[in-house]
Amino acid sequence: MEMEQLIEKYVRPGRLPHMWCPGCGNGVVTGAIIKAIDKVGLNQDETVVVSGIGCSSRASGYLDFNTVHSAHGRALPVATGIKLSEPRLKVIVVTGDGDATAIGGNHFIHAARRNIDLTVVLYNNSIYGMTGGQYSPLTPANHKATTAPYGTIERNFDISELAKAAGATFVGRSTSFHTQLLVDIIAQGIRHEGFSLIEAVTACPISFGRQNKMGSPADMMKWQRDHGVMLAAFDKLSAEQQQEKFPIGVLYQSQAPEYTKEYDKLIAAAQAKGAR
Ligand code: SF4
Ligand code: MG
């Protein structure tokens, strides 16, 4: 399907124009989500998109599915409740680095640990964009933010590694430059049964780029092109070379019991016991 037809099918016309700044990567990532959903062939009425608060979380309002624009950091508990009450639904969470890894950090690790069947697309623009350019747990050390005018001295999480360590069973990363890969990885994450994290490295030319002299939106995309390396090639780099790059592609995949399935088994066992 052409992009125009995809927009007609999956975007709420009444909610446009969107609020993202010119050159923002959020539209590219949201477009990739639409393409991935179409590729997998999800039923719009049986798909739920849940977001938290922030620039990227506005995506839930633009998308024509069952949607919840929830509270800051709380997309995952809301999504967990929806999935537990109606496990047949496909639940996709759109969130940002500030939303998912600071105020929502605790929810993030526990949703991953439970391996509940949610697909999380985390728009990583390395900053709190909407709330004023503060540094987030994913802002790289020595980078500037309104709350770190001399550069942050904190080390950032590698959220993909954190998700894996916490128990996620599908972890992938791409960028708003590597769009086809991003579509493929989101589609794989949707198909995967269990907690899937897709980290979408995206550009915020306004709140992050300006403060860190990253150049134009096109320069920021070129930065993504030059620093994202497919995992197989990344593994062949020396430790020193790896410091300058980051791996993209499917980073981790495994199988483990899925939470809502286990919950249903528990209910059935308890009912059988009660009937005796
Ligand atoms: Fe995009 Fe940054 Fe503008 Fe937010 S502040 S819409 S992330 S460019
Ligand atoms: Mg952000």
Gap from CA of 24 to ligand 1 centroid (Å):
5
Find out whether 150 and 142 touch, Cβ atoms under 8 Å. Answer: no
pLDDT given at position 111? 98
Ligand 1 atom nearest to 96, measured from its CA: 7
Does the pLDDT of residue 276 top 80, yes or no? no
**What's the CATH code, domain 3-10+19-275?**
3.40.50.970
pLDDT given at position 275? 75
The SS3 assignment for 8 reads helix
From the CA of 58, which ligand is nearest?
1
Confidence of residue 50 (pLDDT cuts 50, 70, 90): very high
Find out whether 9 and 1 touch, Cβ atoms under 8 Å. Answer: yes
From the CA of 211, which ligand is nearest?
1
> What length does the chain have?
276
Find out whether 95 and 120 touch, Cβ atoms under 8 Å. Answer: yes
198 φ, ψ (degrees, to nearest 5): -115, 110
Neighbour order of strands in the sheet with 228-230: 66-69, 47-51, 90-96, 119-124, 196-201, 170-175, 246-253, 228-230
Q: Which of 134, 202, 206, 221 to mutate to test the pocket of ligand 1 (most atoms within 8 A of CB)?
A: 206
DSSP 134-153: ---TTSPTT--BTTBTT---
pLDDT given at position 271? 95
Q: Cβ–Cβ contacts within 10 Å for residue 232, how many?
A: 9
pLDDT given at position 274? 83
For residue range 71-80, list pLDDT tens digits in order.
Answer: 999 999 999 9
Query: What is the domain partition of the chain in residue ranges?
Result: 3-10+19-275
Ligand 1 atom nearest to 26, measured from its CA: 1
Ligand 1 atom nearest to 23, measured from its CA: 8
Sign of CA dihedral 162, 51, 230, 210: negative
Separation CA 13–CA 16 (nearest Å):
6
pLDDT given at position 15? 93
Separation CA 209–CA 196 (nearest Å):
28
The SS3 assignment for 107 reads helix
Question: Ligand 1: which residue has its CA nearest to atom 1?
Answer: 24
What percentage of the chain has pLDDT greater than the value 70?
A: 100
Gap from CA of 28 to ligand 2 centroid (Å):
15
From the CA of 134, which ligand is nearest?
2
For residue range 106-152, list pLDDT tens digits in order.
Answer: 999 999 999 999 999 999 999 999 999 999 999 999 999 999 999 99
pLDDT given at position 179? 98
Average pLDDT on 229-245 reads 97
Average pLDDT on 241-262 reads 97
Ligand 1 atom nearest to 202, measured from its CA: 7
Pocket of ligand 1 (CB under 6 A): 20-21, 24, 26, 55, 125, 129-130, 204-207
Find out whether 94 and 57 touch, Cβ atoms under 8 Å. Answer: yes
